[in-house]
Amino acid sequence: MSDTEAKKLAAVEAPVTYKSYLMCVFAAFGGIYFGYDSGYINGVTGMQYFIETLDGPVAKQLQAWESSLIVSILSAGTCIGAVLAGDFADYFGRRSTIIGGCCFFSIGVILQTASAGLSLLVAGRLIAGFGVGIVTAVIILYMSEIAPRKVRGAIVSGYQEFICIGLMLASCVTYGTENRTDSGSYRIPIALQLLWALILAVGLLFLPESPRYWVKKGNLDKARHALARVRDQPENSHFIESELAEIQANNEYEKRMIPSTTYFGSWANCFRGSIWKPSSNIRKTILGTSLQMMQQWTGVNFVFYYSTQFLQSTGAVSNVFLMSMVLTIINVLCTPISFYLIEKFGRRVLLVYGALGMAICEFIVAIIGVTVGFDKTHTVMIDGVATTVADNLSAVNAQVAFMGIYIFFFATSWGPGAWVLVGEIFPLPIRSRGVALSTASNWLWNCIIAVITPYLVNPDKADLKSKVFFVWGSTCFACFVYAYFLVPETKGLTLEQVDMMLEETTPRTSAKWKPHATFADQAHTDDKETVDQLEVEQAPKST
């Protein structure tokens, strides 16, 4: 590659400034929705006052169907919201759609806070879920489209960090209210969510729309203005002109490859091409949806949704609320490590080794549990009360330690990595719908796992106890195989270069690919060849 070509490739995007970085980081705040809900529902469903409110004063634990319904109904709402989010984002814009999602979420939270029974609580969680689905789908799309390529992985990983912060805050709040003997025990954790919606919605009013949205709409003036704001450069900067030309050229190229059709035809575009070709739309859609499915298959939401109830059922841990809070704190502290790792080593490497590390930890937890750990308890009388305690406290502590190590592997790999890749792999014409379908897949499998888990671990059902970790260990090993054979490397590339890379490599060779041309140069070359061809065809023929 010549020096001139290298300079052109480098000029495709402006240098990262502090202001542009902060603008992108704020958008990641949307992750707190996902995390806080996962954390608060884990604590609330284990609160004695909440249990008695739903099932009467003699109840000690929610029935399996109640726990399943309360947890999973939000995921059902989010799945619907995520699917529709793609249409909303293309019609109203990325930023406006996120603000609208905040409004739906707030209505759902108000209904949940006002509830004193199952019906209104479930209705509120369904509506809030619709809002969460919109926010989680479009926030990834928005961040990926405005983030500078050199720090895009770290910034989108910030979304996962806010999920972790939400989990931790929820655990802290429920830990503080668990012993209240009034409705404040569950209403305070629920109502606090309104604050997150307010912060995100108001903050987004001061951020620009995605420049790639305006390019797709054909409004280059607004695209230039938005791009100048997110890159913290003047509108006449050669960086802005170069990047805008690249975005526009890529959009024109993709429009030729993916013709605009009817509404249903535009959805069908997500499934066009050969499944054996890595750059085909259907392959990208399968990759995005399966990435999010695999992230749920790691079993992490078993820990964050049901760890309180699971640890209570074993009788081996004295303060389950505190232990759940410790696991969420580990998650918060470890996720920032991925900011460095994901840009240093890449997405693919983290997913491969992260899945392997999780699988090993899960199998160790399962083996210890069925031999000398969680599953081996006895009953003793403490202050006249029959109490279940562990036969081998050291073994239980070892299990909890490996659960913490498992959280470390998740937080530094699959937690942020799956979201980063989903925001990078889709071409502009189908990006909003591709990200929406991928996010919907996450919530669909989130819902499925939330529905079946109580039936796997509740004492009156399958009562698998530690054996459930054999299930999660096996699915983590499947994630390892999946990442090795199917996940490409996208580190350090613009979204437009990712399209080019997928056309020219396979997942296992993608890490070696280097940018060698821009779409703007290719478009200029194609135009010149077309003109030359027309001149040849129109030249008078000699007799």
pLDDT, tens digit, 9 for 90 and up, residues 206-226? 999 999 899 988 899 999 999
Residue whose token pair is 């284990």: 46
pLDDT averaged over every residue in the chain: 84
Chain centre to alpha carbon of residue 537: 53
Contact (Cβ atoms closer than 8 angstroms) between residue 355 and residue 181: no
| Interatomic CA distance for residues 414 and 308, integer angstroms | 23
| Interatomic CA distance for residues 95 and 281, integer angstroms | 25
Buried b or exposed e, range 211-221, using 16+ CB within 10 angstroms: bbbbbbeeebe
The residues facing 382 across adjacent strands are 385
pLDDT, tens digit, 9 for 90 and up, residues 483-521? 999 999 999 888 878 888 988 898 989 989 988 766 666
Separation in Å, CA 193 to CA 108, 272, 341, 390, 436:
10, 40, 31, 37, 23
pLDDT, tens digit, 9 for 90 and up, residues 374-422? 778 777 776 666 666 777 878 888 888 899 999 999 999 999 999 999 9
First-last CA distance in the chain: 45
pLDDT, tens digit, 9 for 90 and up, residues 306-361? 666 666 655 656 677 777 778 888 888 998 999 899 989 999 999 999 999 999 99
Residue 416 vs residue 458, higher pLDDT: 416
Separation in Å, CA 130 to CA 56, 66, 74, 162, 432:
30, 20, 8, 20, 17
Amino acid at 501: M
Q: Considering the entire predicted model, what is its pTM?
A: 0.79
User: 3-class DSSP state for residue 170?
Assistant: helix
* Of the listed ranges 115-124, 138-147, 533-542, the one predicted with least confidence: 533-542
Can you tell me the mean pLDDT for 160-177?
A: 85
| Interatomic CA distance for residues 536 and 164, integer angstroms | 63
pLDDT, tens digit, 9 for 90 and up, residues 125-140? 999 999 988 998 898 8
Q: How many CB atoms are closer than 10 A to CB 120?
A: 14
* Of the listed ranges 18-32, 162-176, 195-209, 490-504, the one predicted with least confidence: 18-32
| Interatomic CA distance for residues 365 and 469, integer angstroms | 7
Q: How many CB atoms are closer than 10 A to CB 45?
A: 23
Separation in Å, CA 142 to CA 98, 147, 207:
9, 8, 11
Length reported for the chain: 543
Residue 161 vs residue 24, higher pLDDT: 161
Residues contacting residue 58 through CB under 8 Å, at least 6 positions apart: none
Contact (Cβ atoms closer than 8 angstroms) between residue 478 and residue 378: no
User: 3-class DSSP state for residue 385?
Assistant: strand
- What 3 state SS string does 84-121 have? HHHHHHHHHCHHHHHHHHHHHHHHHHHHHHHCCCHHHH
Q: What is the pLDDT of residue 287?
A: 94
Q: How many CB atoms are closer than 10 A to CB 208?
A: 17
Residues contacting residue 165 through CB under 8 Å, at least 6 positions apart: 31, 32, 35, 332
- Beta strands 385-390; 377-382: pairing state: antiparallel
